[in-house]
Structure 1
Amino acid sequence: MSQYEARVRAFIDENFPPAVEGEPVPAGLSLLESGVIDSMGVLLLVTWLEQEFGFIVDDDEVVPENLDSIAAIDGFIARKVELEPAG
């Protein structure tokens, strides 16, 4: 598990219903296609990412490649955090 995956997983588990009741969401599962997250959920996710990690999610970054699975979100956070200038 990467450094961000546990935080992302905790947020997903707290705010969205699981794809399969009683089972953790697989890291590579499409959150949109499985119905875990809908379009309003994406907005909630983006807001959380900005508040939790202190970066801005640009409109052109709100794409499945960045936000459609726990693994994709984890990679997106890592890229954004590395690109942000330190304090």
Structure 2
Amino acid sequence: MVDDEIRNNVSQFISKTFLFDPNKKIDEEISLLGTGVIDSTGVLELISYLESKYQIKFEDEELIGENFDSIEKITGFISKKLLNI
């Protein structure tokens, strides 16, 4: 799976779920946590979506804000996880 596909899926999920507008574009490098787009409960919802969508399981030590702070970071993190399956 290519990064562009992951990036688009993550961006659409965040726009639809947290911004309530599936067509809203989000800067891929902004802090989702720092800007309040996603809160701690939202991170759990995002993790559930990612595990289901990509058939992956996150380890406890991977569940840190840094891995889920921006669309760019999420994309890179998921790409690495998929390479290690």
TM over 0.5: yes
**Which residue type is aligned with residue 65 of structure 2?**
P
Q: Distance in 2 between matches of 1:35 and 1:52?
A: 24
Please state whether the residue corresponding to 1:37 is helix, strand or coil.
coil
Question: Unaligned 5+ residue runs, structure 2?
Answer: none
| TM-score (norm: length of structure 2) | 0.87
Higher percent of residues as helix: 2
1:14 to 1:46, Cα distance in 2 relative to 1, 3 A: same
Unmatched tracts of structure 1, length 5 or more = none
Q: Deviations along 1:1-57, whole A, 9 cap, x unmatched?
A: 723100000100110028xxx852100010000000000000000000100000001
Higher gyration radius (CA) = 1
Q: TM-score by structure 1 length?
A: 0.85
Computed over aligned residues only, the root mean square deviation of the Cα atoms, in angstroms, reads: 1.7
Q: Distance in 1 between matches of 2:27 and 2:46?
A: 17
Q: Percent identity?
A: 37
